[in-house]
Structure 1
Amino acid sequence: MLDIGYSLSRRFPDPPQTDYRSADVHALRHDLFCGDVYLADTEKDTEVSTAWGWVPVLDFAWALCDIVEQLDQDPRGSRSSHSQYAELDFTESSDRMLFERRFGWVDIEADWMPPEEDPLTFSHRLLRREARDFLHDLIADLIDMHEDLADNPVIWTLQSRFPRVPA
């Protein structure tokens, strides 16, 4: 089972004067909602996580949804034997999270993982559903903290671009 989660940082709070209703894409993706993120395989009790405190969690959720779609470019889908690659780079460092899809399975690893550690492996279908659920759950949490965010057109567009996927 895949679990995707986050924690917001107390060391890097959002500026108190932030107008969440009119925050632009750059602010939403790079300047606000900093913390840490993780992807975990709950059956194997393994995870890939950050521990830096400065990762923009909304950007992570957004980028993860983009990556899942990028990994689905081959028209043969889960029948494709050709590997498809994507990476999520963290803009404040040289660290990357790496994704490889083959035969409908996605391996996830990170530059900072020990070389002897196996990558996390999930079906592409599960990763898509969980990434979108994570995005929508995160947005709901952020709106609970900052009600004006619900009126931001960038958030509306993001939610419509990546709707929840039925189980």
Structure 2
Amino acid sequence: MLDIGYSLSRRFPDPPQTDYRSADVRALRHDLFCGDVYLADTETDRELSTARGTVPVLDFAWALCDIAERLDRDPLGSRASKPQYAELDFVESADSLHFARRFGWVDVTADWLPADEPPLTVNHGELRREARDFLHDLIADLTDIHEGLGDNPVVWDLQARFPRV
């Protein structure tokens, strides 16, 4: 089973003067809500995680949902034998997560892990569901912390674009 999580950084807090109600896409994706993220396979007890405290966690959730959709573009879906690839670049560093889907399974690897480390393998449907759940849970947490964020049209659009499945 896939578990996706985050922690917000205390070293890089959001600017206190931020108006979350009117924050634009760039601010929401790249300038606010820094922390660390992880993807974990709870059955094998394996994890891919960051430990810098500088990852924009809303951007990570947003990009992960985009990637789950991008990996499903082949009309044959889970019957497609041709691998489909996607990459999630971390904007604050040179690191990346790499996704390769073949049939209904996605292999996830990270630049910062040794080359001989086996990939984290997850079911594509589970990746899509967990990514969307993570996005909605993250937005709920952030709107509890930051007044006005729940009224931001960008956040509304994001939630409508990736509804829970």
Alignment TM-score, normalising by the size of structure 2: 0.99
Name 1:142's counterpart in structure 2.
142
Q: How many residues matched?
A: 165
Counterpart Cα distance in 1 of 2:134 and 2:118: 24
State the 1:21 CA deviation. Answer: 0.2
Unaligned runs of 5+ in 1: none
Deviations 1:87-145 (A, max 9, x none): 00011211110000000100001000112211111110000000000000000000010
Name 1:63's counterpart in structure 2.
63
Percent of aligned pairs sharing the same letter: 78
Counterpart Cα distance in 1 of 2:110 and 2:23: 30
After superposing the two structures, state which structure 1 stretch, 116-125 or 2-11, moved more: 116-125
C-alpha RMSD over aligned residues: 0.5
How do 1:1-167 and structure 2 match up within 5 A?
Answer: 1-165=1-165
State the 1:147 CA deviation. Answer: 2.6
Unaligned runs of 5+ in 2: none
Alignment TM-score, normalising by the size of structure 1: 0.98
Deviations 1:42-101 (A, max 9, x none): 111101100010000000000000000000010000000000000000112111100000
> Aligned with 1:47: secondary structure?
strand
> Letter of the aligned partner of 1:86 in structure 2?
A
